Amino acid sequence: MAGTGKTHLREAGSTLLRVEDLQVEFPAKGGRRVHAVSGVSFDVAPGETVGFVGESGCGKSTVARAVMHLPAPNSGVVNLDDTELGTLSAKRLRETRVAMQLIFQDPMASLNPRRKVKDLVQEGVEIWHRGGDRHALEERTRELLDDVGLDSATVWNRYPHELSGGQCQRVSIARALMMRPSLLICDEILASLDVSVQSQMLNLLKRTRAEHGLAMMFISHDLGVVKNISDRILVMYLGKVAEVLEVDALDRETVHHPYTQLLLASVPRVTGERIKPSVDGAAQDLPSPLNPPSGCRFRTRCPLATDRCAQEEPQLEEKRPGQFIACHHIS
Amino acid sequence: MKAAAGKVAQLLVVMFLVSLGTFSLTSLMPGDPAVAILGDNQSPEAYAELRDKLGLNEPLVERYFTWLGHVFQGDLGTSMVPPNEDVTSLIGSAFAVSIELAVLALVVALVVSIPLAMISARRPDGLLDRAASATTFGIMSVPSFVSGLVLIALLVNQLHLFPRVGWVGVTDGLGQNLYHAALPVITIALLEIPTFTRVLRGDLVRTLQEDFVLSARAKGMPAWRIMIFDAFRPSSYSLITVLGLSLAQLIGSTVIVETLFSLPGMGRLVVSSASQGNITVIQGAVLVIAACYVLINAGVDLMYSVIDPRIRRVGA
Amino acid sequence: MSAPETAALAPTARPGRRRRIDLLLWLCGAWLAVLILAAITAPVLGLQEAQDAAKTLLEPVYQPPSLGSAHPLGTNALGLDMLSRIIYGARVSMAVSISAVLIGTFVGGTLGVVAGYLRGTVDRIIGTLTNTLLAVPALILLIALATVLRPSALNMALALSLVAIPGMIRVTRANTLAFAQREFVTVAQALGAGRARIVFRELMPNVLLSVVPLCLVYVSALIVAEASLSFLGIGLRPPQPTWGNMIGEGLNGKMEDYPHLVYVPAAVLFLTVFSFNLLGERMRKRWDKREVSL
């Protein structure tokens, strides 16, 4: 699996973000290269939420940063509202990508420890001097802080280390919303939060998405969470896309990419029975991205793998309506 | 191997820069160096002769390479002050004294700080640990000329244990040599004991929390055995780094002690040359000491790869 | 949406520390405050003569300390008042050391942040410079410079700053590397911040703050270095009083008969160095703790 291909991309005019053949490599010791992302394509329609799911190390966070050009990908095309980011000057790039905002996993590390909440939230506006009058700016800041579930009067002059993880994450969301983005990129933003806070945060995201008409890239290792919030899901494995599907296809269809099967099997289900033990292959580690397997990158862990999988890389094909799978053995 | 070559190259560059800095000391001198050295009541011929001897009439770059060429042949020039001795031999005899002091001080410091660190690490934040940490912290704030004076007042003036001043070479009997070296060595060692103890204690405490120590303890091994045979070696890396750095710094620290006890070492040579404006001796001394530092550090790097074949030391 | 979470803003309580240690910290702080205050206001304190031996011809010489007398800390060989010399010495020592640390922090900090942020060739060049400065032991470097430079306070501060620069470069560089990887820098870029803003608004405040404990330790180290030079007779020279040359006066056999000549300045030097060290150490510990909790 772990294929390339663009058959799942929709018509160019209808999408907010269109990413083609994204490749990211990092130099490693001894002149080797880490193949973090190898030919990933996807698109996001306005107001749509696309979930990215896969094990840690599969390159999903790298995709998020590459989309922002922080740092720029080694190759590939990122089109935001029909503007190709790679062709822009540094200044234009900074202006353009403000329409996309990032929220990270570690809520504390995402906030400058030497800044108060009010300054953190107003930082972007301050950079672009588009605040208008002080009073209106402050009002809008307070409004957004209240919106994300913080008491603006209480947190206004606090420093990040005086807040809880959940509160910091809310500050990050408010700060992102200040820029009136059209796309919000959430990179594992629930992973470091308590389960009870996670569900609050999911509800907050859904409400915010509706109120601000946001598109989202929602990145998580947890298929359950991704399923809950996404319209479409991209399953990634070792820098490639294994499967792209609409969220209702996840349970409706019984045939999936073997890797998706593996992820599905590892989602605990409360059915009254005991949680099913993980299937074969789940226990194995991810192969090294320094030296990824030839052909289908999943073949070393795949129960269906044959010689063909080592020779030939599978392409994403629409195997069922709304379900694209990159696998030689699924028809 | 490639990394080693890079290291060597960097060391060479460092030495080159040090030599450049050392050489340009003369040009930092305000006014005419000849006047600065001889004072201003000499005959014009004397100034001219000195200027010529300093090579001040040649262009700067040329002078530098001439000087460097001499240095490579082991010729550091002659002293500016009568009886105009050969700088290389001056430094040679002084260097032996300083090295002896530095090495002895290092040994004394290790003999004191290793057991002290082990006792402290035994029960972190226990009574002994707190006492040791308070003492070392206090000692750290005592400049060596103060601790030297206190030791003199106590051990020489009150108890008459050691000679006040003077030096006897090893060639005139090891006993007398050590007798005269004792107080200076203790004074210098006092500078290093706090650092060594703190560094080793910190690493020991960390090592003692590791699983292999716990399992050894679970097997019923006595704590002191674990400390000496299991925990010490893996905890000694930072100590070795500090050791390498301090051996070179120690040659600097001997300056004070040699003055205090009137010992004929590098420090005293440097200090007396400094007050006489004897720049060639200073230049030679700086070069020799810097070369020591560079070589010792190269040695320390080498030692890592012997002790720990993985050399997985990220950052320094 | 989450009223309970908002309500439960964590109070910034710190675990109570032992009182004895707090007391020590306060004593050190108080000592430094008094010393610095006295040093600043020295000319208006109505002190006895500190420098001009011609004015003290009628004063007793080698008077031992006696708190009730006109010379609470005694007098020296020339009848100069020790208390007054200590305070004027503090003026010099503090001014020289603190300005040297400020120069060192500014120069070293800038080089360190630049090296850590730009990496690559610039980093390597700055690294080699750092190693070169470190290759000559501090005291030897200072003596070498003292050989060729006039012993003025400004030259002294400049020379001492060279001692602080390499350490500052290393620490600020390491801190910059650590901070530059934090997500808040990436977020700032996403918000549209340019390079200069990242360096000065995001990195600098964090890096410089983390260097404050080191600055305090350097102040104490440089006070010692300056005193060492004066003690060796190659720093600031008498009659200008400094703690180092005051201790140096006590050498040459006078210490045995008049120990206060040495003990008074030595005690002051120790207390000051100890206080700066303790302040730096305590601050570092507290910061480390907070870094962990972040």
User: What ipTM does this complex have?
Assistant: 0.83
Chains that touch B (3 or more CB pairs under 8 A): C
What residue ranges of chain A are covered by domains with CATH 3.40.50.300? 1-99+182-191+213-267+291-331
Q: So what's the pLDDT on residue A101?
A: 92
Least confident of A147-151, A233-237, C74-78, C262-266: C74-78
| Residuewise pLDDT in 10s, chain B (316 residues) | 566 677 788 888 988 899 888 888 877 766 666 666 666 677 777 777 777 776 667 777 777 888 888 888 877 777 776 677 788 888 888 888 888 888 899 999 999 999 999 999 888 888 898 899 889 888 888 888 888 888 888 887 777 777 777 777 767 777 777 778 888 999 999 988 998 998 899 888 888 888 888 888 888 788 788 888 778 877 877 788 778 777 767 777 788 888 888 888 888 888 888 888 788 888 888 888 888 888 887 887 777 766 665 544 433 3
- For a pLDDT cut of 90, what percent of chain A falls above it? 15
A296 in reach of chain C (CB within 8 A): no
Q: Find which of A127, A171, A195 to mutate to test the C interface (most C CBs within 10 Å of its CB).
A: A127
Contact in structure between A34 and A60 (CB atoms under 8 Å): no
Contact in structure between A187 and A195 (CB atoms under 8 Å): no
Q: So what's the pLDDT on residue C98?
A: 93
B202 in reach of chain C (CB within 8 A): no
Distance CA A7, CA A243 (A): 12
Q: So what's the pLDDT on residue A231?
A: 92
Taking each helix axis from N to C end, the angle separating B237-261 and B279-307, rounded to the nearest 10 degrees, works out to 150
Q: Do C186 and A203 touch (CB under 8 A)?
A: no
Q: Do B143 and C140 touch (CB under 8 A)?
A: no
Chains that touch A (3 or more CB pairs under 8 A): C
Pairing outcome for strands A215-220 and A49-53 = parallel
C148: which 2 tokens?
A: 């060729």
The band of C2, judged by pLDDT with boundaries at 50, 70 and 90, is: very low
DSSP H or E segment with residue B72: helix B60-72
**Statement: residue C1 has pLDDT above 50:** no
The band of A288, judged by pLDDT with boundaries at 50, 70 and 90, is: confident
Q: What's the burial of B189, exposed, middle or buried (CB within 10 Å: 0-12/13-18/19+)? A: buried
What structural domains and CATH numbers belong to chain B? Answer: 15-72 (no CATH), 87-314 (1.10.3720.10)
Q: So what's the pLDDT on residue B313?
A: 41
Q: So what's the pLDDT on residue B110?
A: 93
Q: Once rounded to an integer, what is the mean pLDDT over residues C151-170?
A: 89
Dihedral in degrees, nearest 10, Cα atoms B20, C221, B118, B101:
50
The band of C252, judged by pLDDT with boundaries at 50, 70 and 90, is: low
Q: Do A204 and C1 touch (CB under 8 A)?
A: yes
**Statement: residue C85 has pLDDT above 50:** yes
- The residue in chain A having the minimum alpha-carbon distance to the alpha carbon of residue C191 is A124
Q: So what's the pLDDT on residue C165?
A: 93
Distance CA B20, CA B22 (A): 5
Contact residues, C window 151-210, toward A, CB-based 8 Å cutoff: 182-184, 186-194, 197, 202, 205-206, 209
HSE on the CB side for B137, CA within 13 Å?
Answer: 17
B255 in reach of chain C (CB within 8 A): yes
A330 in reach of chain C (CB within 8 A): no
**Statement: residue C9 has pLDDT above 50:** no
Nearest to C293 among A104, A161, A179 (CB): A161
Q: Do B143 and C224 touch (CB under 8 A)?
A: yes
Q: Do A164 and C191 touch (CB under 8 A)?
A: no
Higher pLDDT, C233 or A183: A183
Q: So what's the pLDDT on residue C11?
A: 40
Q: Do C136 and B18 touch (CB under 8 A)?
A: yes
Cα–Cα distances in angstroms (integers) from residue B24 to residues B21, B166, C141, C200, C221, in the given order = 5, 35, 13, 35, 27
Q: Measured between CA atoms, how close is B27 to chain C, in angstroms?
A: 9
Q: So what's the pLDDT on residue A278?
A: 47
Nearest of A188, A208, A230, A285 to residue A42 by alpha carbon? A230
| A175-226 pLDDT, tens digit each | 998 888 999 999 988 888 888 888 888 988 899 899 888 999 999 988 888 9
**Statement: residue C42 has pLDDT above 80:** no
Q: Measured between CA atoms, how close is A98 to chain C, in angstroms?
A: 6
Distance CA A49, CA A184 (A): 9
Dihedral in degrees, nearest 10, Cα atoms C35, C36, C42, C44:
-110
The band of C15, judged by pLDDT with boundaries at 50, 70 and 90, is: very low
Nearest of B247, B265, B246 to residue B255 by alpha carbon? B265
Q: Once rounded to an integer, what is the mean pLDDT over residues C214-242?
A: 85
Q: Measured between CA atoms, how close is B229 to chain C, in angstroms?
A: 31
Q: Do B146 and C143 touch (CB under 8 A)?
A: no
Nearest of A57, A58, A87 to residue A72 by alpha carbon? A87
A265: which 2 tokens?
A: 């099997």
Q: So what's the pLDDT on residue C12?
A: 40
Cα–Cα distances in angstroms (integers) from residue C169 to residues B195, C98, C112, C173, C217, in the given order = 21, 18, 4, 6, 15
Q: So what's the pLDDT on residue B307?
A: 63
C277 in reach of chain A (CB within 8 A): no
Q: Which residues of C126-158 are buried (b: 16+ CB within 10 A; e: fewer)?
A: bbbbbbbbbbbbbbbbbbbbbbbbeeebebbbb
| A250-270 pLDDT, tens digit each | 877 778 888 888 888 876 655
| Cα A153 versus chain centre, distance | 32
Give the torsion sign (CA, C226, C230, C235, C241): positive
Least confident of B192-201, B221-230, C149-158, C205-214: B221-230
A194 in reach of chain C (CB within 8 A): no
Give SS3 for A13: helix
pTM, entire model = 0.77
Say if domain A1-99+182-191+213-267+291-331 classifies as CATH 3.40.50.150: no
| C116-141 pLDDT, tens digit each | 888 888 899 999 999 888 888 888 88
Q: Do A167 and C9 touch (CB under 8 A)?
A: yes
What residues of C are in contact with residue B259 (Cβ under 8 Å)?
232
The band of A276, judged by pLDDT with boundaries at 50, 70 and 90, is: very low
B242 in reach of chain C (CB within 8 A): no
Give SS3 for B277: coil
Q: Once rounded to an integer, what is the mean pLDDT over residues A37-65?
A: 89
**Statement: residue A232 has pLDDT above 90:** yes
B28 in reach of chain C (CB within 8 A): yes
Q: Between vectors from CA C159 to CA B20 and to CA C32, what angle results, nearest 5°?
A: 155
Q: Measured between CA atoms, how close is C193 to chain B, in angstroms?
A: 29
